[in-house]
Structure 1
Amino acid sequence: MFIAREEELRILEETYNKSGFQMTVIYGRRRIGKSTLISEFIKDKESSYYMASQSSLEDNLSKWTEQYINDIAPEMEGVTFKDIENFFRFICNNARDKRIIIALDEIPYIAEADETFLSRFQRIIDTMLSKTNIYLILCGSAISFMEREVLSEKSPLFGRRTNQIFLKPFNYKDSAKFVPKYNNEEKAIVYGLTGGVAKYLCLFDDSISLDENIIKNFFTSSGYLYEEPMNLLRQEFRTINTYNAVIEACALGANKVNEIADKTHTTTAALAYIINGLMTVGILSKITAITEEKNKKKVSYEIADGMYKFWYKFIPSARAAIEMGKGDVYYHANVKNEIHDYMGKIFEKMCQYYTLEQGITGKLKFLVTNVGTWWGNGHDRVPTDIDVVGINKATHEALLGECKFKNEALGKEVYEGLTARKGLIDSKFKEVQLILFSLSGFTKWVEENADESTLLVTLDDMYT
């Protein structure tokens, strides 16, 4: 069953319905669902889909020809071409004025195998495809390659595309559609363990318990996610040791450049390159205090990918048990009771998404245009933070929020702690609303004493 991606399908349909040659570039990290999206879009249309292999241009041309003929022109079975130009000359003659979709997945494989390919493909577009009614879809998982070699001004293909789709992980609401039988707490945890990545969400079977799914995927030696982080790093980077060390350092709490450099024994210059690479593929993210984005002292890095975050927190110390076939024992003894604590930061991101969604659709006291977090010194000069800060830079309005993913009602202490943080963010913002988010609801005291500007939101509210 195909899930969500309504906006992406809308873009593809609208582009398909335009006359003449059109070209869409789709890119995004591995396992995100690019191929599935393309397959869903083309399933009822005259089309040919080819996924390139990590081999020579000649080998790919042979396989691509076979695929096209099988899809579009079976009567031409056995025909071969010596070069890519003759292949596309055949495609253009064969297609004539028909609306045909040509989808090339993993274009980086061919482009890296033959450095002339992109320039030759540019000429094919300009001299042949541009005169047809063909809809060309180019797709790739190597994000940095796609941005640099396909989308940038320096690319031979620059200016040829109609549009592009940067496919991102599912948000927590769409992720829940993969496990509809689970309750909202379990849905949130599944999102927290998978980071909203399509392939990982598909691994969770809601006909069995959440514990069984976690053990099956992470805590068994044959589990898909047991070796996944290392496999992905090997696909993205030539040498993975330093990248692995940086992720480990972040997982252990180092989030400033100097802290990460100290723990990994890496120069800051080399570290900048590594961090940039990890950010490009979506493993790390750069965090700034929302009202002080230009303050270099308030820059930190954290693991953005939920699967990586969970794996690096729990799997390294569990390896011996997993290899002995006792991963389930380890999970129940050392991990299960830590899940709610692990979900703390994940829940903050969910609450930030909810705040932006509600604020930008007019459901809060003002139009929220940016959401993030804030940290710094409190009124007593003691370091503190605010989980959710929503702002409107034009009207200088702000809201503050606190999030608790715990099996207990959120009470007076948390409410008063949030009210005490008023006045900490940039003074040019007027704080007009407070929001409290809770997995398990609120105490009677909070419900009766929270002022009218405070919004109380439960996890169930976030899924309605």
Structure 2
Amino acid sequence: MAKILVGRKEEIDVLDECYRSNSAHFVAVYGRRRVGKTFLVKSHFEGRLFFTFTGLANSTLQKQITNFNVEMAQQLSISSEDFVTDWFSAFQLLRDKIAKSKLKKKVIFIDELPWLDTRNANFVQALEHFWNGWANMRSDVLLIGCGSAASWMIKKLINNKGGLHNRVTRRLQIEPFTLSETEAFLKNLGAQYSKYQIVQLYMVFGGIPYYLEQINVSQSDVQNINTLCFKSNAFFKSEYDLLFSSLFSHHQRHQSVMAALAKKGSGMTRSEILSLSKLDTGGTTTNILKELEESSFIRRYQAYGKKEKDQVYQLIDFYSLFYLNHISKVSASDTTYWIDNFNSSKYFAWSGYSFELVCLTHVSAIKKALGIQGIGSEAYSWRSGEAQIDLIIDRKDNVVNLCEIKFSLGKYKLTKKYAEEIQNKINSFISSGDSKNKAVFPTIITTYGLEKSIHSGIFINQIILDNLF
């Protein structure tokens, strides 16, 4: 079945605006590897790309230039006499071809920009000269630069301190699919999964289009996870190391931070990460955390009522979490691991946290389900010595939703003991003074809702799995 472009409406609107503009535009597109950046640009501009070429991973200047010459010959019919040997000449050749073209708009797409910036290649300087010295003064040029190494894209393009300072006219960070977009994507593949099964797949693969493409829609969610993650030569056994080595030059350090964060679902402070990862306390660790955050592997947040120095880092990449908790710990000979364990205590421990992560990445859907999407609000977590609340929605209408998140195979049964724990959390939150005299609305988010009982009335609001789509 042909691939279709799912979602990405806001991004497409930006690209269309730039395409229709009477001014030159330089668009920076970045996001996690495999998230669909290249597919978005190439599919949307199919038949309208003037020139496109892609950087080569771990390559030399000579090979990159050879690749450029080959693409110029194939796409713009240059002869071997016109071949270039450096990036300044390459952009001059591209400039000449643009100037001679009668097309109303010339869309130039350069993919994997960070890979082109090899040592002593002067690629950024040549790009800067091309844009500042000529292209930005034309009304017929739309330059789109794309890369998976978000730290490079942000440092060298978006926040460039040199000649490209403030030259990027639009920036597009491509995010993973939401649950709703994932459902649409899988349906296009021919899948007929229930929302529960889609959430199961999402908790392993996230909303990463390339990962979702690996799914065999004739198999169940459990079969797919087992086949793709635990069979001999399974795709996702090797993906993790490849993913990090392609993004970060000293990826072992980044992976040490990820391994540390995987041990505590609610996140860690910087000092806790340093203790577990054995990294030094200098600027290197700061850069690693920044790069992981920019690449959407982790998030940094300030707990409700806490100061900035108490910021917490949390692993938010679903595949990384699953790899570190399951794939990396399973013997290569255990090829039926998921089929044997998907209803075990180990499974429920992982699914509980992973479902919390699903909710934390779908706060806008939760606000819509609560009917407060039009009310100003901020989402936080909250910690005290006695209790922890994973999601707090602090509203401008003087209400705070304290959200309890529970994953369950059926309707969740609220026991007397658990109801008392919830009440203790509420009391701790109010007595801490962090409620700021606002009304407190206990809210439960669970897969199929609460089983009605004498204790269920403790929750004012209920949100179910369907509301997250």
Q: Give percent identity, aligned residues only.
A: 21
Aligned twin of 1:317: 329
Aligned twin of 1:162: 169
Q: 1:214 to 1:425 in 2, by over 3 A?
A: farther
Aligned equivalent of 2:273, options 254, 260, 264: 260
Are 2:154 and 1:138 aligned?
no
Aligned twin of 1:183: 194
Report how many residues are paired: 446
Shift of 1:316: 2.5
Shift of 1:291: 3.4
Shift of 1:85: 4.0
Are 2:371 and 1:363 aligned?
yes
Aligned residues of 1:341 and 1:405 also touching (Cα < 8 A): no
Aligned equivalent of 1:100, options 95, 106, 109: 106
In the alignment, residue 223 of structure 2 is paired with which amino acid?
E
In the alignment, residue 70 of structure 2 is paired with which amino acid?
E
Shift of 1:153: 4.0
Which runs of 5 or more residues in structure 1 are unaligned? 378-382
Deviation string 1:340-370 (CA, Å, 9 cap, x unpaired) is 4312223223334444345379813971421
110-119 or 7-16, which moves further after superposition?
110-119
Deviation string 1:296-322 (CA, Å, 9 cap, x unpaired) is 34x33332211110111012321x3x2
Aligned residues of 2:49 and 2:109 also touching (Cα < 8 A): no
Aligned twin of 1:380: none
Aligned twin of 2:215: 204
For residues 188-337 of structure 1, the aligned pairs below 5 Å read 188-253=199-264, 255-269=268-282, 271-292=285-306, 294=307, 296-297=309-310, 299-318=311-330, 320=331, 322=332, 324=333, 326-328=334-336, 330-337=337-344
Q: 1:235 to 1:375 in 2, by over 3 A?
A: same
Deviation string 1:5-57 (CA, Å, 9 cap, x unpaired) is 12111111111111232211111121111111111111142432211224344
Shift of 1:193: 0.7
Aligned equivalent of 2:354, options 341, 346, 350: 346
1:139 match: secondary structure: strand
Aligned residues of 1:361 and 1:367 also touching (Cα < 8 A): no
2:443 match: secondary structure: strand
Which runs of 5 or more residues in structure 2 are unaligned? none
In the alignment, residue 145 of structure 1 is paired with which amino acid?
W
1:286 match: secondary structure: strand
Structure scoring higher RCO (CA < 8 A, sep ≥ 6) equals 2
Aligned twin of 1:406: 408
Quote the Cα distance in structure 2 between the aligned partners of 1:64 and 1:184: 45
Quote the Cα distance in structure 2 between the aligned partners of 1:202 and 1:212: 15
Shift of 1:135: 1.0
- Normalising by the residue count of structure 1, what TM-score does the alignment of the two structures yield? 0.86
In the alignment, residue 196 of structure 2 is paired with which amino acid?
E
Quote the Cα distance in structure 2 between the aligned partners of 1:149 and 1:295: 27
In the alignment, residue 261 of structure 1 is paired with which amino acid?
L
Aligned equivalent of 2:37, options 34, 38, 52: 34
Deviation string 1:176-202 (CA, Å, 9 cap, x unpaired) is 323331111111111111122222122
Aligned twin of 2:21: 18
Aligned residues of 2:400 and 2:441 also touching (Cα < 8 A): yes
Quote the Cα distance in structure 1 between the aligned partners of 2:406 and 2:49: 51
Quote the Cα distance in structure 2 between the aligned partners of 1:344 and 1:306: 13
Shift of 1:77: 5.1
Q: 1:425 to 1:442 in 2, by over 3 A?
A: farther
In the alignment, residue 462 of structure 1 is paired with which amino acid?
L
Aligned twin of 1:117: 123
Aligned residues of 2:50 and 2:107 also touching (Cα < 8 A): yes
258-267 or 141-150, which moves further after superposition?
258-267
Quote the Cα distance in structure 1 between the aligned partners of 2:466 and 2:435: 34
Quote the Cα distance in structure 2 between the aligned partners of 1:203 and 1:388: 32
Shift of 1:251: 2.1
Quote the Cα distance in structure 2 between the aligned partners of 1:15 and 1:406: 46
Aligned residues of 2:260 and 2:273 also touching (Cα < 8 A): yes
In the alignment, residue 288 of structure 1 is paired with which amino acid?
Q
Q: 1:113 to 1:94 in 2, by over 3 A?
A: farther
Quote the Cα distance in structure 2 between the aligned partners of 1:315 and 1:364: 39
Aligned residues of 1:122 and 1:157 also touching (Cα < 8 A): yes
Quote the Cα distance in structure 2 between the aligned partners of 1:52 and 1:186: 37
